[in-house]
Each structure stands twice: as C-alpha cells, then as structure tokens.
Amino acid sequence: MAEQETNLSAAYQLRRQARGAEPPPKQRRWLLRLITGAAVVLCGSLLAVGLWIWWSYTHVSTVSATLAASVVSISPKADGRVVAVVAEEQEHVEAGRQLLRLDDAEARAAVEAAEAMMALRTSEYLQAQETLAMTRSLRASEEARAQAQVHVAEARCAEARAVLERVKKGVRQEEIDAARSRLDSARALQALRELEVQQSEELLTEGIESRHALEIARTQLALQKNAVRQAELEVQRLCAGAFEEDVRAVESALTAREAELEEARAQLALVLAQQMQVTVAEERVTGAKAQLDGAQAGLDRARSTLRAASVDTDVPGIVTRIYPNVGEFCRRGETVVLVADPGKGFWIDAYVSERDAPLVGVGQPAHVRILAGPRSDLEGEVTQISEHTQSRDSGGDVGPAAQGERVWVKIRLREELPPGLKHGMTARAVIKVR
C-alpha cells in the first residue's frame, strides 16, 4: 500500500513538470511531530491541572493523622526496677490484671517485719484487756464483800444500841403485869395438875386407872411446878430492875460492834481506793490500743508498698504498648503501659490546614490509609471538627503568628480494623468535601 502511494506521488510530480508547474515545497515532518507532541503534552497538562483543580475543590487532604483509641495510661505507684513483664502487646487483659512486676524484695521484708510487729502488739493489747477485766472483777468482788461487811456491822451496832437503850430505860409496868399474869396462869395450871394427880391416886386405889397414868399426871405436875418457879423468878427480876453490871456488859458489846463497823468501813475505803489500779489498767489498754493501731498502719503501708511493686491495670482492654524492658528502672507516675478500650472503638485524629478547614463538615466521607504497620485502606466519616486552631486548643500562643496553623478533625472508621493495627500508628486521610 505504501509502495502504491509512492508511485502515485511520483507520477503526479512528472505531470506537473511536463506542464511546467513549480514543484511543491518539501514538508518538515519533525516540526509537525514537535507541534503534535506539544499539543498532546499541553492537553495532558491542562487535563491534569483540571483534574487537580477538581480534586482540590472536592477533596481535602490531612496535614497529619494518627490512629487513635480510648487509651488509659498505666503508671507504677512506686519507683522500682522491672523484674518481669507479665503481659504482652495486643493481649486482652481484664481489670486488675498484672502487667509488670517490680523488684519487691525489700517490700516483702518490710511486710514480714510489720506482720511480726502486728502480732506482738496484738498480744500485748489482748493481755492488757485481760488484766483490766481481771482487775475490774477482783475490785468488784472485794467491794461487794466490803459493802456486805459494813451492812452487817451496821446492823449489829444498831441492835447493840437498841439493847443498851432498853436496858437503860428499865422494865416497863406493862411487862411486869404481863409477867405476873403468866405467873397466875402457871399457878392455876399447877393447881389443876395437883387435882389430876389426886384423882389418879383415888382411881388407882379403886382399880379404875393404871399406875402409868398416875405417873404421867405426877410428871406433868412437876413440870408445871418448874414453870411456876420460872415465872416467879421472871417477876422478881423485872421488879428488881437492871443491874449496873448488865449495863456495862451491854455498853461493852456496843463498843465492840462500833469497832467492827469502823473496821468494815475502813476496809471498804481501802477497796474503793483501789480504783487507781483499774485506771492504770485502763491506761495500759489505751496505750496498747494506740500501739496496735500504729502497727496496723505500718502493716497497711508496707502492704501498700508491696502492692505498688505490681503494675496492674484498672480497666479491661487491649495492651497496645509496653515501654520498659526487664532490668529497666521505672519511676512513679511515668507512663509504662498503654491499654486501649476496644469497646469504644478506634478513630482517626487528623489535622487539616486552616485554609481547608471551612470546607470540612460533619458527615463528610473520608478515605483513610494506615501507613504504619500493615498498610490498610479504610473508609470513615467526619464526626467532629475543632472550632479553633491547634495552638489555641493546646493553650499556647494565640497571637497572629500562631493562627492559621492546623485544625483538628475526628474521623470515625466505618470498618473493622484488621489485626496488627493499634493506637498511635501513622495514617493519611482524604476527606471528600463536595
């Protein structure tokens, strides 16, 4: 085909020369190709610029972005050297799970010493309580016995005073009359017994009554004669009045009873004075209780120090980062482990330039690529936008030089994260704004 076109072109040139026509100018193929290439490049550039302008108009790229989660920073409660790393990164742990173990040899020795002191103080406190109870019981029994002795002595003394008063006053006429009445009754009964004996003798003579009945009657008569004699003596004594020696005897008895009363009261006062022993025992119990409380506080501190040697998590979650290794020294308060709460999900903490921030709105879709670790492309959605620049949100300089930096944007992921991704990984996000 090409050869045929060449032949036709040659024939056309021969005819032109035969007619005497001027030959056509030679074509510059390289210039045509250059122009064509330039046109193609220009069109491609215009298309690329157009696409870039369109993409820039409809998309906003983040300045920086990181994968974030609800993370709790775990810190040791005491300084110490790590002797064991119990948990592993990406391990799911429950609340109270031990993550790191610090050197606790000194703390364990302190706990053992505190427990020994606690046992000693407990024994002393119990012994002081027993001594107090014994002292109170002994004092109560002695006081009761002394009180009883005082009451008995008072009763005896009162009885002796009554006897003395009665002796000093003498016998009243009513008592003498009563004694004489008893004497008359005894004599009348004696006459009756004599009559019974006389009748029994007569009946015995006649053979009606036995001798035994006669002897009984004579015995009753003899008894009655004695009763009459006693009644006569009583009347004589009452009529004679009290003798001086009787008064002295009663007074001596009263003096002895009063001495017994004074002695009983002195004994009671001595027992009451022993209250100081109870007070001393109570003070010993109070002191022993204070020492016991101090020992308990020391034991609590030692146990707290021992517990501080174990770095535990207070929340359930996934261990995302363990900073120290075995043998490294950790200080109290510094972050050593990060635990993420998977129940609250992951999101992207992103920053856009202040120039692009007005274009970003809540609900706009975003494409996220995780750069660190296993690369992953995920889809998300803008859920929150800061109202200030980063410098103002962080409490830094808010002057003109600080404004116009970056604005924080939160992107919620719509997909489940693949294994291996964790908090803090670098990401890149593109937000579709139109």
Per-residue pLDDT of the chain (434 residues; tens, 9 = 90+): 555 555 555 565 565 565 555 555 555 566 777 778 788 888 888 888 777 777 777 888 888 888 887 788 888 888 888 888 888 887 888 888 888 888 888 888 888 999 999 999 999 999 988 988 888 888 788 778 888 888 888 887 887 777 767 666 655 667 777 878 888 888 888 888 888 888 888 777 877 777 777 788 888 888 888 888 888 877 776 666 555 666 677 677 778 878 887 887 888 787 777 777 788 888 888 999 999 999 999 989 988 888 888 888 888 888 888 888 888 888 888 888 888 876 677 888 889 988 888 888 888 898 888 877 666 788 889 988 888 787 665 555 444 444 458 899 998 888 777 776 777 788 888 888 87
**Burial code of 117-138, b = ≥16 C-beta within 10 A, e = fewer?**
bbeebeebbeebeebbeebeee
Check residue 117 and give its pLDDT. 92
pTM for the model: 0.47
Check residue 122 and give its pLDDT. 92
Q: Token pair for residue 68?
A: 């974030």
Return d(Cα 280, Cα 358) in angstroms, integer. Answer: 83
Return d(Cα 326, Cα 336) in angstroms, integer. Answer: 12
Return the C-alpha torsion angle 146, 151, 152, 155, nearest 10.
160
Closest CA relative to residue 235, chosen from 166, 331, 171, 287: 171
Return d(Cα 293, Cα 296) in angstroms, integer. Answer: 5
**Burial code of 192-202, b = ≥16 C-beta within 10 A, e = fewer?**
ebeebbeebee
- Residue 274, H or E segment: none
Q: Token pair for residue 208?
A: 């009606």
170: exposed, middle or buried (C-beta count within 10 Å: 0-12, 13-18, 19+)? exposed
Check residue 399 and give its pLDDT. 45
Tell me the sheet residues that pair with 412.
Answer: 347, 381
| Inter-CA distances, 222 with 213, 214, 225, 229, 395, Å | 14, 12, 5, 11, 133
Check residue 116 and give its pLDDT. 92
Task: Note whether 83 and 108 are within 8 A (CB).
Answer: no
Check residue 167 and give its pLDDT. 65
Helix axes 105-169, 275-308, angle to 10 degrees: 170
First vs last Cα of the chain: how many Å apart? Answer: 54
Q: Is 383 helix (H, G, I), strand (E, B) or coil?
A: strand
Check residue 251 and give its pLDDT. 74
Check residue 294 and give its pLDDT. 93
Return d(Cα 325, Cα 336) in angstroms, integer. Answer: 10
Check residue 17 and give its pLDDT. 60
**Burial code of 14-39, b = ≥16 C-beta within 10 A, e = fewer?**
eeeeeeeeeeeeeeeeeeeeeeeeee
Check residue 368 and give its pLDDT. 85
